[in-house]
Amino acid sequence: MDALETLTLFIVSDSTGETAEHVALAAISQFDTDFSKIVRYRYVEGSGKIDEVVSRAAAVPSIVVCTLVDRQTRSVFAEKTAAAGIPFVDLLGPMVDALEMRLGRKPLQAPGLLRKLDEDYFQKIKAVEFAIQCDDGRSTESLPEADLVILGVSRTGKTPLSMYIANKGFKAANIPLIPEVDPPEIIRKVPSSKIVGLIISAERLIQIRQERLRLLGLEPSASAYATRERVDRELQAATDYLKSLGARIYDVTDRAVEETAQEILDFLRAR
């Protein structure tokens, strides 16, 4: 028990090391404690760092988890950690070796390329998680981390747009603009270049909302939701607010989400 309370996790990777960390964190959740410290050795090339890792890991209660493609490095690592009595996990190495045999070709070892691929993958995963977490005005405390904040009245397609953009690796949050509810103050801390507003023609919005009411089994005239007056007021308030933020405004009337997304992505990438 005492040993676990001060357990240090050493991650050694020829790339970002995030996969190893992922597995290790899931595994530690099965014990009554957490790692007291995580030491990451990333973008390790060759066996140059092994002695350093082994001597640091030998000094404290620890476990070493590696994701390394190079078999030679892994076997030296396994020997040296065994000699020092340090628990060592070669996470996916045995599988890489087996696949190399079956595929009849070597795995990629170009560090730059792998680094790019791994970073892209985790960037996308994080962006998608972020978009889910910050959908529909939730988790506004995370807004300063966003690459993009999408604002708009109800039914302008904020969620699909956020998801689409997250899928391209950008962290997108979206917040509904409702006349009776003040948008969170924290938006003012987001640079205007990261804010976009979605607007839509009043006619189209009325149509969409009437359809929505019908789907809910309501008579469209029974609610103010789809009336011209209400819709005009909402759109006006939204436009005023968006202008006050200095947001770029996109009219999504009769546009496919992909179109708006593409324009926004072009802008994000050009920055």
Partner 1 sequence: MVTFGERRNGFSFPDGENVDLFVLSDCLSEVAEACASWITRRFGKTGIEITRFGSLTGEDKIREALDEASRTGAVVLHCFLSGEYRRLVKETCLGQGTDEYDAFSPVLTGLETAAGQGPKEDRALLHPMDREYFRRVRAVEYTIAADDGGNPSILKEADVVIVGISRTGKSPLCMYLAHRGIMAANVPLVPGIEPPPQLFRIPRTRIVGLTRSPVSLGEIRTRRMSMMGLPPEESLYVRSEEIMREIDYASGIMENLGIVIFDVTKRAIEETAHEILALLAGAQERHSFHGGAK
Residues 194, 178: Cα–Cα separation, whole Å: 20
Candidates 40, 56, 71, 124; binder of partner 1 (CB under 8 A) is: 124
Candidates 53, 54, 73, 90; binder of partner 1 (CB under 8 A) is: 90
Q: Which stretch binds partner 1 (CB under 8 A): 47-55, 149-157, 228-236, 238-246?
A: 149-157
CB burial of 94-126 (b: ≥16 within 10 Å; e: otherwise) equals eebeeeeeeeeeeeeeeeeebbeebeeebeeee
Dihedral sign (CA 21, 167, 147, 234): negative
Q: Of the two residues 134 and 190, which places its CB atom closer to partner 1 in the complex?
A: 134
226 HSE (CA, 13 A, CB side): 17
Residues 6+ apart with CB under 8 A from 252: 152, 156, 157, 198, 199, 200, 260
Q: Of the two residues 131 and 242, which places its CB atom closer to partner 1 in the complex?
A: 131
159 is in an annotated binding site: yes
Q: How far is the CB of 188 from partner 1 (least distance, A)?
A: 27
Q: Of the two residues 39 and 208, which places its CB atom closer to partner 1 in the complex?
A: 208
Residues 88, 80: Cα–Cα separation, whole Å: 10
Candidates 49, 121, 142, 227; binder of partner 1 (CB under 8 A) is: 121
Residues 6+ apart with CB under 8 A from 78: 88, 90
Residues 82, 86: Cα–Cα separation, whole Å: 6
52 HSE (CA, 13 A, CB side): 9
Q: Which of residues 206-225 bind partner 1 (CB under 8 A)?
A: 207-208, 211-212, 215
Q: How far is the CB of 231 from partner 1 (least distance, A)?
A: 14
Q: Is 107 in the site for partner 1 (CB under 8 A)?
A: yes
Site string for partner 1, 159-198 (x = CB under 8 A): xxx-xx--x-------------------------------
Number of shown-chain residues binding partner 1 (CB under 8 A): 73
156 is in an annotated binding site: yes
Q: How far is the CB of 60 from partner 1 (least distance, A)?
A: 10
DSSP 107-159: PP--HHHHHHHHHHHHHHHHHHHHHHHTGGG--GGGGGG-SEEEEE-TTS-HH
Q: How far is the CB of 10 from partner 1 (least distance, A)?
A: 11
Q: Which of residues 17-56 bind partner 1 (CB under 8 A)?
A: 18-19, 22-24, 26-32
Q: Is 110 in the site for partner 1 (CB under 8 A)?
A: no
Question: Residues at the annotated binding site for ADP?
Answer: 152-159
Question: Residues at the annotated binding site?
Answer: 152-159
